[in-house]
Amino acid sequence: MTTPTIELKPSSSPLSAAEREAILTNPGFGRHFTDHMVTIRWTEGRGWHDAQLVPYGPLALDPATNVLHYAQEIFEGLKAYRRPDGSVASFRPDANARRFQASARRLAMPELPVETFVEACDVLVQQDKAWVPEHGGEASLYLRPFMIATEVGLGVRPANEYLFVVIASPAGPYFPGGVKPVSIWLSENRVRAVPGGVGDAKTGGNYAASLLAQAEAAAKGCDQVAYLDAVEHKWVEELGGMNLYFVYGNKLVTPTLTGSLLAGITRDSLLKLAADLGLEPEEGRVSIDQWQADSANGTLTEVFACGTAAVITPVGTVKSERGEWQQSGGEPGEVTMKLRDALLAVQTGKAEDVHGWMHEL
């Protein structure tokens, strides 16, 4: 498969430095976008072609475009950070590229070569480098690569044309208010994904399917939904957009990748980073009964959620039909914060990158 060269067509009217700086003082999450985007097309019989860096702007789609009807779509999320010397590096873009390929296979879409995915992200970050927040805090430039089926027609089959796009958005904390424990609604009836389904693919439909449960959780005063497995309604899987870790003193357990939860890159990184810190991380199954009982008997000392957007976020209150309880007194736990600091130190270039995770631009 040939990799197309990305043609640069920079914007003639990017936002002024003053407008950009105003946004960067409080970027929020996913509210503002940089001046450019990268687009690459795929056509059956021709492969990947027309790779371009162009001004950020609307996509014109025929109303009968396949993705609008049958949701043949996949996406990724990764971050680029400003380092102490002012340079910029992204976190494990190759891992996102490989997961994008896995999602593409599941959604019957063409696989973008890993090097093209990484190059597309690099070209966009290079062009819009001024949008990468200053070193110092935990702000970053969030990259959102995605691919949609662009064939026009209402036939239900894999499309013969696709569009790959990368956009970028400066990001402050995902949950406003800094490191504040999130409250969780433990959903015992709504499921996010089923065995044999698409739970381990990063495809928009999974998120659409989670919105009602999310709204129900919000009505109960909770920030996020924790999902159980769809067969026994017993085993804890993940949140709508984050993986989970259960902390038992020095021992950490994260739910096993059963096929119906997403193989988070933060989750994977923490399996390694926790071991570096002398903790004992492992993959395993955690039941809802165990979660409740071990919280009550005090052996489950902390619970946290992790993901690119949310980094590491402590779980405070847990609510469910069976009652309500608090993790680590509703405060951020010690292990949670130690891991959070360690991960951010690598990502922002403050700590040595022993695993070779940072991709310098």
59 CA to centre of own chain: 23
Residue 80 to residues 54, 129, 131, 252, Cα–Cα distance (Å)? 20, 10, 10, 27
Q: Binding to ligand PLP by residue 145, rule CB under 6 A?
A: no
DSSP state of 243: E
349 makes contact, choosing from ligand COI, ligand PLP, none, with CB < 5 to 8 Å by partner type, with none
238 makes contact, choosing from ligand COI, ligand PLP, none, with CB < 5 to 8 Å by partner type, with ligand PLP
In the complex, minimum distance from the CB of residue 264 to ligand PLP, in angstroms, rounded to a whole number: 3
In the complex, minimum distance from the CB of residue 5 to ligand PLP, in angstroms, rounded to a whole number: 29
**Gap between the Cα atoms of 335 and 278, Å rounded:** 11
- DSSP-derived pairing of the beta strands 182-187 and 224-228: parallel
Type of residue at 177: G
Q: Residues 82-121 vs ligand PLP: string with x where CB under 6 A?
A: ----------------------------------------
Which of 262, 274, 303, 346 binds ligand PLP (CB under 6 A)? It is 262
User: Strand, coil or helix: what is 294?
Assistant: helix
User: Strand, coil or helix: what is 295?
Assistant: helix
- Which CB sits closer to ligand PLP, 262 or 315? 262
From the list 11-19, 80-88, 146-154, 258-266, the region that binds ligand PLP by CB under 6 A is: 258-266
Q: Binding to ligand COI by residue 308, rule CB under 6 A?
A: yes
Q: Dig out the tokens for 197 from the structure.
A: 């389904």
**Gap between the Cα atoms of 77 and 308, Å rounded:** 7
In the complex, minimum distance from the CB of residue 157 to ligand PLP, in angstroms, rounded to a whole number: 27
Q: Which of 361, 342, 315 is nearest to 183 (CA)?
A: 315
**Gap between the Cα atoms of 69 and 57, Å rounded:** 22
User: Strand, coil or helix: what is 264?
Assistant: coil
- Which CB sits closer to ligand COI, 75 or 248? 75
Q: Binding to ligand PLP by residue 244, rule CB under 6 A?
A: no
**Gap between the Cα atoms of 117 and 4, Å rounded:** 11
Q: Residues 66-105 vs ligand COI: string with x where CB under 6 A?
A: -----------x----------------------------
Check: CB of residue 244 under 8 Å from CB of residue 226: yes
- Which CB sits closer to ligand PLP, 267 or 359? 267
Which residues inside 202-241 make contact with ligand COI, applying CB under 6 A? 241
**Gap between the Cα atoms of 192 and 187, Å rounded:** 10
Which residues inside 38-77 make contact with ligand PLP, applying CB under 6 A? 77
Which residues inside 156-185 make contact with ligand PLP, applying CB under 6 A? none
DSSP state of 256: -
Name the one residue in this structure whose structure tokens are 């129900």: 216
359 makes contact, choosing from ligand PLP, ligand COI, none, with CB < 5 to 8 Å by partner type, with none
In the complex, minimum distance from the CB of residue 82 to ligand COI, in angstroms, rounded to a whole number: 19
Q: Binding to ligand COI by residue 314, rule CB under 6 A?
A: no
Give the binding-site size for ligand COI (rule: CB under 6 A). 5
Check: CB of residue 38 under 8 Å from CB of residue 83: no
Which residues inside 265-294 make contact with ligand COI, applying CB under 6 A? none
Which of 132, 242, 286, 300 binds ligand PLP (CB under 6 A)? It is 242
Q: Binding to ligand PLP by residue 265, rule CB under 6 A?
A: yes
Q: Which of 84, 97, 168 is nearest to 126 (CA)?
A: 168
Type of residue at 261: L
Q: Which of 256, 326, 242, 341 is nearest to 291 (CA)?
A: 326
Q: Which residues bind ligand COI (CB under 6 A)?
A: 77, 241, 307-309
Contact residues: ligand PLP, CB under 6 A = 77, 238, 241-243, 262, 264-267, 307-308
